[in-house]
Structure 1
Amino acid sequence: MNNIFKYGSIAEIPLYNCSAHTPEEWSERDGVRRPLYGLADMTYGLVFNLLYIPILSVLFEKENMRMSCFKIMIFLASVDMLALWVNSIITGFLAYKGAVYCTYPNLIYIAGSAGLSLWCCSCIIAMSLVINRLLELAKPTLAAFLFEGCRTYIFMGFAIGYGCYFAIFTPPIVFSSKYHTWFFDPMIFVNRTDEYANIPHGVNNFLVVGLTCLLYVSFCFVLGRKLKQVSNGGSSKSNKMSTQIFIQSAMICAINQIASIIYVIMNFIDVPFWLIIVGHSFWQFGHGAPAIIYLCLNKTIRNGIMKKIGLKKSNPTTHTTKDSNSAAFTKTN
């Protein structure tokens, strides 16, 4: 993004100069219209954005906003909704039109910068949420020191700054309907792929996402130990619950880790089209999965939504408690 200020406009950036052909000629030369993929992507993005609305309405309730984990979950859900606009709704529109970078250079450059920024930002948010839940179980005093009150917003501010770094100082991802995904190489010039390499993105995918997965594993072990301590003889039930939590968390980690690895690999070597589609789908699902997880596994959110639509009566004597297990079921990116 800093190159826009350096050169005055996107069109004047040397590595992104599309003056060799008209937008229509670029689409005709390199693009492939994919109307079914496009409609499916747009539908997915719109449906999951709508699913997040009732979830956020519950998270924003006053009693929930007192808890640091719910503040982080609100931030994570907001980032996911914005990311779905890039990897699903805008992607669907571009695929439907058979677009390549030079068809809509301004839209794709800005959307690509935003999509990359949101992905990396969500990595830090997810890590913050896992750390929050882990410390609440293992070191509650330290958790209070780090997250109590407005201190949660420090972590959010760091995540925003981290994401902005990728948007401003690193090459954006750009869309190609030929492969139905976003690469760093806009495919304007032949044999210049290495000039578009985004090393910080590769480091983020392998280091940050990998570390978040390790934190999830640590969380599962700590939670299992805590459940055993309070089970009073119900060890089999605790073991079953701990196993379920581990499996669910491991699945979420796997989704994002697979997307991360595929996206790094396909920007450096040729991979089959089906693998590119798998990688893109995992990126989409990584931002949409938390909505399903919140609705299915988080009792606080699920009950709150049911009360809002009249399927469950409110109990004025019931107070919101920390749903540590459910709050942890969020994505890592």
Structure 2
Amino acid sequence: MNNIIKYGSIEAIPLYNCSGFTPEQWSARNGTQRPIAGTIDMTYGIMMNILYVPILAVMFEKEHFKMSCFKIMIFLGIVDMLALWVNSIITGFLAFHGAVYCTYPNLIYITGMAGLGLWCCSCIIAMSLVVNRILDLAKESWCKFLFDGKRTYLILTLPIIYGSYFVIFTTPIAFSSKHLTWFFDPLIFPDKGPEYTNIPHGFNNLLVVAVTCLLYASFCCVLGEKVREVGGVSNKGSLSTQIFFQSALICAVNQIASIIYVIMNFIEVPLWLIMLGHMLWQTGHGAPVFIYLCLNRTIRNGVLKRLGVRMDVAESSVAPVN
């Protein structure tokens, strides 16, 4: 963003000057039309966004929205929906047409800024959510001090500021249909790749995501301790194990995607590994839909009620765990 202000337009930025060829020539030189992959990506992004709507509607219900964890989950869900527009819907459109950066420079530059900022923003939101859950279990007074009432909104300004930093001051990602993913190098000048390096993004992927995973591990330890304190090891112990594997799966997806994206921007890697990294990025923003619907009974029942499905089983028999 700062370069747009500095030079007056995207086309005027020296490292993003596409005047050497026409957009059609750039696509023919560096792009590859991928209609099947593009259609799949667009379908996935649209479906996940549609499924997210009733989930967010349930979270916005008064009895849920008053809880700080639901406020954070709502914000994370909105960021996920916006990110799916970048890594799935717009990506699918670009892949379908065999686009490269210079095919749609304005669209890809702006989308690349947004995608990078949304990813980094979601990392901090996820960290905030885990901290909220840990404090709620271990230090309830601290949780109330930090997250009670409107204080949650103040906490949520941190990921907004963090994500905005990447949008304004760092190199955006640029799409390549040949590799079916987003690189920092727009592949315009073959000898200037190192000039597009984004060190803060590498810091985010290797450190922030790793810290989030450690927080998830801490959350599982705290939860296990609470299970032992209250007894009922058979049922609650299995629930603790289930939550642990859910958390571990989420962390594994995000961590692997993060590492792949850092590596592929510095060294040449096989196409299958690049595509795997991109699919994991998509999964990181779409997986919460399945987790909420399959594993979070409160949200699942709320969605079913909105769809007119009656729940005959008494919910009071087993306490829900969100």
TM-score by length of 1: 0.94
Cα separation, 2, equivalents of 1:261 and 1:322: 38
Residue 271 (structure 1) aligns with: 269
Deviates most, 33-42 or 305-314: 305-314
Q: Is the alpha carbon distance of 1:24 and 1:322 closer, same or farther for their aligned partners in structure 2, counting shifts above 3 Å? A: farther
1:239-318 equivalent positions in 2, closer than 5 A: 239-312=237-310
- CA deviation digits over 1:289-323, x for unaligned, max 9? 001101111111111111112212599x989x995
Residue 10 (structure 1) aligns with: 10
- CA deviation digits over 1:228-257, x for unaligned, max 9? 2112xx323333222221111101100000
Residue 185 (structure 2) aligns with: 185
Runs of 5+ unmatched residues, structure 2: none
The sequence identity of aligned pairs, in percent, is: 66
Residue 168 (structure 2) aligns with: 168
| DSSP 3-state at the match of 2:11 | helix
**Deviating 4+ runs (over 3 angstroms):** none
1:179-258 equivalent positions in 2, closer than 5 A: 179-231=179-231, 234-258=232-256
| DSSP 3-state at the match of 1:10 | coil
- Check whether the contact 1:73–1:129 (CA below 8 A) recurs between aligned residues: yes
**Structure 2 residue identity aligned to 1:243:** T
| DSSP 3-state at the match of 2:150 | helix
- CA deviation digits over 1:160-187, x for unaligned, max 9? 1100000000000000001000000001
1:49 is the counterpart of 2:49:
yes
Deviation at 1:45, TM superposition (A): 0.1
Cα separation, 2, equivalents of 1:186 and 1:48: 28
1:15-30 equivalent positions in 2, closer than 5 A: 15-30=15-30
| DSSP 3-state at the match of 1:275 | helix
- Check whether the contact 2:301–2:311 (CA below 8 A) recurs between aligned residues: no
| DSSP 3-state at the match of 2:175 | strand
**Structure 1 residue identity aligned to 2:28:** E
- Check whether the contact 2:202–2:262 (CA below 8 A) recurs between aligned residues: yes
> Alignment RMSD, CA only?
1.7
Cα separation, 1, equivalents of 2:245 and 2:59: 25
**Structure 2 residue identity aligned to 1:228:** R
Q: Is the alpha carbon distance of 1:322 and 1:201 closer, same or farther for their aligned partners in structure 2, counting shifts above 3 Å? A: farther
- Check whether the contact 1:2–1:169 (CA below 8 A) recurs between aligned residues: yes
**Structure 1 residue identity aligned to 2:7:** Y
- CA deviation digits over 1:121-148, x for unaligned, max 9? 0000000000000000000000000000
1:109 is the counterpart of 2:109:
yes
Cα separation, 2, equivalents of 1:313 and 1:283: 35
| DSSP 3-state at the match of 1:40 | helix
Deviates most, 300-309 or 3-12: 300-309
- Check whether the contact 1:307–1:314 (CA below 8 A) recurs between aligned residues: no
**Structure 2 residue identity aligned to 1:308:** R
Cα separation, 2, equivalents of 1:314 and 1:57: 22
Aligned positions, number:
321
**Structure 2 residue identity aligned to 1:250:** A
| DSSP 3-state at the match of 2:32 | coil
| DSSP 3-state at the match of 2:182 | strand
Cα separation, 1, equivalents of 2:140 and 2:315: 23
1:150-161 equivalent positions in 2, closer than 5 A: 150-161=150-161
Cα separation, 2, equivalents of 1:31 and 1:80: 28
| DSSP 3-state at the match of 2:240 | helix
Deviation at 1:227, TM superposition (A): 1.2
1:82-121 equivalent positions in 2, closer than 5 A: 82-121=82-121
Residue 129 (structure 1) aligns with: 129
Cα separation, 2, equivalents of 1:138 and 1:242: 15
Cα separation, 1, equivalents of 2:310 and 2:230: 30
Residue 36 (structure 1) aligns with: 36
